[in-house]
Chains A and B, each alone.
Chain A
Amino acid sequence: MNAVTAAKVVPAQPVAAPEPEREVLLKVDNVSLSFGGVKAITNISFDIRKGEIRAIIGPNGAGKTSMLNVINGFYHPQQGTITWRGEVRRKMRPYEAASQGIARTFQNVALFKGMTTLDNIMSGRTLKMHRNFFWQVLHYGPARDEEIAHRRKVEDIIDFLEIQAIRKTPVGKLPYGLQKRVELGRALAMEPELLLLDEPMAGMNLEEKEDMSRFIIDVNQEFGTTIALIEHDMGVVMDLSDRVVVLDYGKKIADGAPAEVQASQEVIDAYLGVSH
């Protein structure tokens, strides 16, 4: 054993021991949502703590995506409240959620197809850019300085996600796995406090899934971003997440550490036993 070898620190394993309670970032209280009589979400409560990776799992149609849509203001629940950083949120538009630090990716990649990778990620900086129309028209001076400063930030993300080779490729031409990565990059460009990932690994092969898992962990550790993700692959969920909430038919049936959830009979019945 040499001097340097002794220096290595094994990164903390998730779940190992109950850590001191972290600050609650977002709290969902008794939220219900329905569309013309069809109940999508019934009376769901859970919280997301600062700095954790929180998984939301459940069979198809369990209301997971609807839950994300409620969190970032795309749907307005008929009942219940959402508390964000200690404040109860009233009806909120999606762009307001964005400006308060909630970013997300989509189940079916929702990139801006007409733009390049670079422009797509730049679009994530929209909220951070403030030069008004008149500077934009001139482009030289402050607007260009701003554009360049943000380009630099975007390049950090490109570097982080290792997508240098596709920087100037229109996203429509990229393979699916890379599109997902660009979408993650776009969300990261918002420097969000809470990052919602809707099935970040859907339709990926094993290698791509491993890459994506690594990126998610890196985002969480390097930037301290709180992450809530929906995922079908149980292996991935168990590896990645600190805590898991399980939905079924719009109701919450379990909530806790991955190991606990995995052991819960109700979850096994409702979800794990069912093949997808």
Chain B
Amino acid sequence: MLYDIFIDPFVQMGAQPDFLIQVLWEGFVSGILYALIALGFVLIFKASGVFNFAQGIMVVFAGLTLVGLHEQGVPAFLALILTIGVMGVLAYGIERVVMRPLVNQPDIILLMATIGLTYFLIGFGEFVFGGEPKRMITEELWLPTGSTAIEFGERGLVLLQHIDIAAAVIAVLMVSGLALFFNKTRIGRALRAVADDHQAALSVGISLNQIWAIVWFAAGIVALATGIMWGARSDVSFALEIVAFKALPVLILGGFTSVPGAIIGGLIIGFGEKLGEIYWGPLVGGGIESWLAYIIALIFLLFRPQGLFGERIIERV
């Protein structure tokens, strides 16, 4: 028994290093996608302190809009631009209808509001686009398909999907883009300021309401990118929502306010989940992917309640 848990998995890893690398790659790719969802959370949390439960559904919604528009005969790239527009309208709407009236409410109320938003978007999305899964318009967007096999050692073979590589590249681009945006632009600096001090942000000359609309829009674009990537790997459907919950443990690991934390947290969860599922899963009948991420986060939390990059909390009386 102990052997099965503590020794055998590593023996297997050593015995088939190519398979291990394949697993790690899979983990890396899903980690990237988790990180992208988490990134959306972080953006909004940083700027407004709102824990946006709806980020996952925004991913699906963005993906569905894109595909849906294309199905209606809109050219792929026009559809992409229109979708960005839709996300902008959505961000503006959320700011007006949800965020502004709820300003200064306790965290839990805001969280609940985003859960309400989730329900609304699910209903709305299904009502407009129907409930059945859709195929992502990968080729139409000139994204690579197919795969490359890399010879590994004597008889090993690692298979890399092109779309996964593209996903990684886009993720890197997106993170760098956001970093630039935060550090180099006026709005970006205001956004950072708002995270620290609302008054300071106002002195930059941008209203809080504008800032919120902007971050929700930014989160919407991140969601669109995530949706395209994810949709290209599987299909676009509301089943994705469950996957989006995984962003929670990612954030727990990385801390709610840290962009690098979101990336690293995403990767840890991605790697951990795939390794766990492949090497330890069979011991208990498999399928542990559905909860492993949470347990990892939970164990982590017990030892470091403030997350990887969070500051230590000193409670004051």
A and B touch in the complex (CB under 8 A): yes
Contact surface of A with B, Cβ cutoff 8 Å: 35-36, 65, 69, 74, 106-107, 110, 198
- Name the residue of chain B whose CB is nearest to the CB of A110: B317
- Name the residue of chain B whose CB is nearest to the CB of A36: B312
Q: Which residues of A contact B314 (CB under 8 A)?
A: 35-36
B190 to chain A, nearest CB (A): 30
- Name the residue of chain B whose CB is nearest to the CB of A69: B317
| B contacts with A, residue count (CB < 8 A) | 4
> Top 5 closest A-B pairs, CB basis?
A35-B314, A69-B317, A74-B317, A106-B317, A65-B317
Give B156-213 interface residues, CB cut-off 8 Å to A: none
Beyond A74-B315, A198-B317: 9 further Cβ-contacts under 8 Å? A35-B314, A36-B312, A36-B314, A65-B317, A69-B317, A74-B317, A106-B317, A107-B317, A110-B317
A107 to B317, CA, bound (A): 8
- Name the residue of chain A whose CB is nearest to the CB of B314: A35
Q: Which residues of B contact A107 (CB under 8 A)?
A: 317
A37 to chain B, nearest CB (A): 12
B97 to chain A, nearest CB (A): 28
0/1 string, B276-317, CB within 8 A of A gives 1: 000000000000000000000000000000000000101101
A22 to B250, CA, bound (A): 59
A36 to B314, CA, bound (A): 10
B146 to chain A, nearest CB (A): 53
A13 to chain B, nearest CB (A): 34
A107 to B315, CA, bound (A): 14
A65 to B315, CA, bound (A): 13
Q: Which residues of B contact A106 (CB under 8 A)?
A: 317
Q: Which residues of B contact A110 (CB under 8 A)?
A: 317
- Name the residue of chain A whose CB is nearest to the CB of B315: A74
Q: Which residues of A contact B317 (CB under 8 A)?
A: 65, 69, 74, 106-107, 110, 198
A7 to B140, CA, bound (A): 104
Q: Which residues of B contact A198 (CB under 8 A)?
A: 317
Q: Which of B312, B314, B317 has the most CB of A within 10 A?
A: B317
Q: Which residues of A contact B315 (CB under 8 A)?
A: 74
Q: Which residues of B contact A74 (CB under 8 A)?
A: 315, 317
5 contacts between A and B (CB under 8 A): A35-B314, A65-B317, A74-B315, A106-B317, A110-B317
A74 to B317, CA, bound (A): 9
A70 to chain B, nearest CB (A): 11
B107 to chain A, nearest CB (A): 16
A35 to B317, CA, bound (A): 14
A221 to chain B, nearest CB (A): 28
Q: Which residues of B contact A35 (CB under 8 A)?
A: 314
- Name the residue of chain A whose CB is nearest to the CB of B312: A36
- Name the residue of chain B whose CB is nearest to the CB of A38: B314
A74 to B315, CA, bound (A): 9
A198 to B315, CA, bound (A): 17
A60 to chain B, nearest CB (A): 14
A50 to B312, CA, bound (A): 38
A69 to B314, CA, bound (A): 13
B30 to chain A, nearest CB (A): 37
A5 to B263, CA, bound (A): 83
A70 to B244, CA, bound (A): 44
- Name the residue of chain B whose CB is nearest to the CB of A106: B317
A110 to B316, CA, bound (A): 12
Q: Which residues of B contact A36 (CB under 8 A)?
A: 312, 314
- Name the residue of chain B whose CB is nearest to the CB of A108: B317
- Name the residue of chain B whose CB is nearest to the CB of A65: B317
A107 to B316, CA, bound (A): 11
A26 to chain B, nearest CB (A): 18
A122 to chain B, nearest CB (A): 22
A162 to B315, CA, bound (A): 34
A44 to B224, CA, bound (A): 60
A99 to chain B, nearest CB (A): 18
- Name the residue of chain A whose CB is nearest to the CB of B311: A36
0/1 string, B241-284, CB within 8 A of A gives 1: 00000000000000000000000000000000000000000000
A165 to B10, CA, bound (A): 72
Q: Which residues of A contact B312 (CB under 8 A)?
A: 36
A24 to chain B, nearest CB (A): 25
B312 to chain A, nearest CB (A): 7
0/1 string, B61-85, CB within 8 A of A gives 1: 0000000000000000000000000
Give B87-131 interface residues, CB cut-off 8 Å to A: none
A247 to B135, CA, bound (A): 71
A139 to chain B, nearest CB (A): 30
A25 to B317, CA, bound (A): 24
A46 to B317, CA, bound (A): 22
Q: Which residues of B contact A65 (CB under 8 A)?
A: 317
0/1 string, B217-255, CB within 8 A of A gives 1: 000000000000000000000000000000000000000
B37 to chain A, nearest CB (A): 33
B120 to chain A, nearest CB (A): 29
B26 to chain A, nearest CB (A): 41
A254 to chain B, nearest CB (A): 25
B142 to chain A, nearest CB (A): 52
- Name the residue of chain B whose CB is nearest to the CB of A94: B317
B108 to chain A, nearest CB (A): 14
